[in-house]
Structure 1
Amino acid sequence: MERDKEFLRRETKFFVFRWEWLLLVLIGITFVVNAQLSPHFLRYASIMDALSVFLEAGFMVFPMVLVLVAGEIDISVASIVALSSVLMAMAHRAGVPMALAIFVALGVGTLCGYFNGLLISRVPNLSAIIVTLAGFSLYRGIAYILLGDKAISGFPLWYSYLAWGYVGKTHIPFMLVAFLLCAVVYGILLHRTAFGRKIFAIGTNRKAALFSGVPVGKMRRILFTLNGLMAGVTAVFLTSKLGSSRPNVATGYELEVIAIAVLGGANPAGGKGTILGACLALILMRFLRYGMGLRNVPGQVMMVIIGFVLVCVVMFPNLFASRRTRQVVS
């Protein structure tokens, strides 16, 4: 009986103090403030449109959570987006039907991600940050060599539906539906499958996971390949939104994607993270930017404010944990 009470107490405490509750509170505060700034904010169409901004980069957040949970990092994703977008556009300009050119983007992204994972898993003492830092320069550099400072446009009209279209007459963006489907898939993958348990095991203790029979090298290749694939998906939606492709697309996306994943509760040291937290963090970041946009806050000031909020929110649980540790020691 005492064991059951203790188990119930721990489960209740875990539920009450989940990181996602803090994000929900911050989202609620952001909604209230934005509603005060604009009487049109709470309109259904306004909320849907605000969610659609930067949503294409949200596709990269899901595999980034998996990578961070495994104790890795990938800073090459934005460059993979640029290269995938450029090669897709060049394929279409060369006469490839747009439907097939989309698969070019997905294939390029997947190959780049696999190449990262192959180097990281096969070359001893070569860390993920070094490999992906090289990829950060390599992939965007190839895009600039192929296209220079030029842009490619002239895509078919149906292609713009991916970013700007709505599902039926609901005013629900098609991209939002695709994003939610990916969230469900990655949520199940991370939290409800043996594959997800292996990711947590690797991030918690890589050596112990290896001795327990977890194929660490193979898992790392899969994780970075998934990251590349979703960068290709981002390239498809981003190019659809912009209506053109150029080598400088998605500049800075890698930092924002990592920031959203960390804000959502993913621990860069590994072993911790949720897809739900990542989704809530994305919503919070979107509506923070939207609210500051309503007040015409300059972009540089906006970056400072978001960075300050990110630091404060991420520091909060660490300060709480360190205080509790000091109490236990004393």
Structure 2
Amino acid sequence: MAGKSGRSINNVPENPMKHIIFSWEGILVILFILVNIFCASFSEFYNMKSVLRQMPVYLAEVFMMFPMAYILVLGEIDISVGAIVCLSATLSCMVCNTNAPFIVVVLTALVVGALCGAVNGFILTRFKELPPMIVTLATQIIFRGIAEVTLGAGGSIAITNTDGFRAIGGKVGNIPYILFLVLILGVLFAIFLGKSTFGRRTYAIGTNRVAAYYAGVHVEKIRFIIYTVMGLMSGLCAVFLVSSSYGANTTTGNGFEMDAIAMAVFGGISSTGGKGNLAGGIISAFIIVCLRVGLGQKNVNAQVILLIIGVLLVAAVALPNIIGDVKKAVAMKKN
């Protein structure tokens, strides 16, 4: 095709395979493969069977990453989720010890989690001038404080009837039930964020809240729903956490908020809002889970594992900017 300048412009479509490989999700898939190769060479016990056996301990946190991605897309943050897990686990254990039906125990954890999330959502939508970090920091202290007062001097509770929790901690062959649930919910949350009207409105709020409001988006309603779902998924995390520990204590859920944020941001969700998708978050979650299993098999200190995850997180935030600078430098050199 000839332009006005007389030069010929070739209409060459972009190679779709190249686009996939060099997308952030493609890079994460490559990193996932490399992490598994590293873990297999680092630990002689690292194999598919051992990973599936130890994975449930870490997978519970992935439930919180799904709604956390929505909150980050809004351009906000929730640091109370670890405390919500603690309170939900504590109260569900107490209900379990009254010999209540297991469905009531599960509903207790989910309802407590949803109510805590609704409290966050109500405060943030009622008092719009308050920053989410300060509000959720305050509710984090409140929720964990309630759990600590409820647990009393001992600071812990063990369940007396483990049948229900043992059942949901079961497996199909070598594959734990929780893995199926994580994958199913991951697909649903990803589709809902990327393809639904609700998801598009969430991106619009994160991009420009004022413009979204004047475009007819129910900004505060959507924010309230997302924070409530965040609490609900924290309650679900508590259920599966109790299924592996058969109890709860004052430290239950410590640091879970940072793990959920790290998984989402490492997956490409922008902390400034309006960017990213859950596909990358799901891949990054499994990278972190496999890394923890592999390093844990060699008794690597938990703080060292956190350090490695922190380095990966910094790299995830910095790499897109570095790639952008390189592309600009190459373009300038061509011109």
- Please report the TM-score for the alignment, with normalisation by the length of structure 2: 0.90
Which of 123, 126, 133 in structure 1 is aligned with 2:127?
123
Instruction: State how far apart, in whole Å, the 2-side matches of 1:128 and 1:273 are.
Output: 20
Change (3 A) 1:12 1:205: farther
**Matching residue of 1:80:** 84
Cα-to-partner distance string for 1:264-301 (whole Å, 9 max, x where unaligned): 11111001122211111111111222222233322222
Which of 21, 25, 41 in structure 2 is aligned with 1:36?
41
**Matching residue of 1:96:** 100
Instruction: State how far apart, in whole Å, the 2-side matches of 1:325 and 1:211 are.
Output: 35
**Matching residue of 1:291:** 294
Contact 1:120 1:126 in 2 (8 A): yes
Larger Rg over CA atoms: 2
Per the alignment, in what secondary structure is the counterpart of residue 270 of structure 2?
coil
Instruction: State how far apart, in whole Å, the 2-side matches of 1:110 and 1:67 are.
Output: 15
Quote the offset at 1:324 in angstroms: 3.7
Quote the offset at 1:120 in angstroms: 0.6
**Matching residue of 1:158:** 164
Cα-to-partner distance string for 1:126-146 (whole Å, 9 max, x where unaligned): 111111111111100000111
Instruction: State how far apart, in whole Å, the 2-side matches of 1:297 and 1:35 are.
Output: 15
Which of 245, 260, 263 in structure 2 is aligned with 1:260?
263
Cα-to-partner distance string for 1:226-276 (whole Å, 9 max, x where unaligned): 100000100111011101122321111111111111001111100112221
RMSD: 2.2
Contact 2:73 2:206 in 1 (8 A): yes
Instruction: State how far apart, in whole Å, the 1-side matches of 2:223 and 2:214 are.
Output: 16
Which of 17, 32, 38 in structure 1 is aligned with 2:22?
17
1:147-226 mapped onto 2 (5 Å cutoff): 147-148=151-152, 149-163=155-169, 165-167=170-172, 170-226=173-229
- Is 1:140 aligned to 2:149, yes or no? no
Instruction: State how far apart, in whole Å, the 2-side matches of 1:34 and 1:152 are.
Output: 34
Matched residue type, 1:92: C
Change (3 A) 1:156 1:202: same
Contact 2:21 2:27 in 1 (8 A): no
Instruction: State how far apart, in whole Å, the 2-side matches of 1:286 and 1:306 are.
Output: 10
Contact 2:73 2:270 in 1 (8 A): yes
Quote the offset at 1:36 in angstroms: 1.7
Quote the offset at 1:176 in angstroms: 0.7
Quote the offset at 1:57 in angstroms: 0.8
Matched residue type, 1:184: V
Where does the alignment leave 5 or more consecutive residues of structure 1 unmatched? Answer: none
Change (3 A) 1:306 1:225: same
Instruction: State how far apart, in whole Å, the 2-side matches of 1:314 and 1:50 are.
Output: 29
Contact 2:84 2:234 in 1 (8 A): yes
**Matching residue of 2:6:** none
Q: After alignment, is 185-194 or 144-153 more displaced?
A: 144-153
Contact 2:63 2:233 in 1 (8 A): yes
Percent identity among equivalent residues? Answer: 37
Cα-to-partner distance string for 1:99-135 (whole Å, 9 max, x where unaligned): 2121011001101101101111111311111111111
- Is 1:274 aligned to 2:277, yes or no? yes
Contact 1:50 1:286 in 2 (8 A): no
- Is 1:113 aligned to 2:82, yes or no? no
Instruction: State how far apart, in whole Å, the 2-side matches of 1:97 and 1:296 are.
Output: 38
Instruction: State how far apart, in whole Å, the 1-side matches of 2:101 and 2:11 are.
Output: 62
Between Structure 1 and Structure 2, which shows a larger proportion of helix residues? 1
- Is 1:321 aligned to 2:327, yes or no? no
Instruction: State how far apart, in whole Å, the 2-side matches of 1:96 and 1:171 are.
Output: 30
Instruction: State how far apart, in whole Å, the 1-side matches of 2:11 and 2:223 are.
Output: 37
Instruction: State how far apart, in whole Å, the 2-side matches of 1:101 and 1:64 are.
Output: 25
Instruction: State how far apart, in whole Å, the 2-side matches of 1:223 and 1:230 are.
Output: 11
Contact 2:73 2:275 in 1 (8 A): yes
Per the alignment, in what secondary structure is the counterpart of residue 151 of structure 1?
strand
- Please report the TM-score for the alignment, with normalisation by the length of structure 1: 0.91
Matched residue type, 1:72: E
Per the alignment, in what secondary structure is the counterpart of residue 14 of structure 2?
helix
Cα-to-partner distance string for 1:56-94 (whole Å, 9 max, x where unaligned): 111000000111111111000010011111111222333
Where does the alignment leave 5 or more consecutive residues of structure 2 unmatched? Answer: 3-9
Instruction: State how far apart, in whole Å, the 1-side matches of 2:89 and 2:40 are.
Output: 37
Contact 1:98 1:155 in 2 (8 A): no
Matched residue type, 2:162: P
Quote the offset at 1:152 in angstroms: 3.1
Q: After alignment, is 201-210 or 221-230 more displaced?
A: 201-210
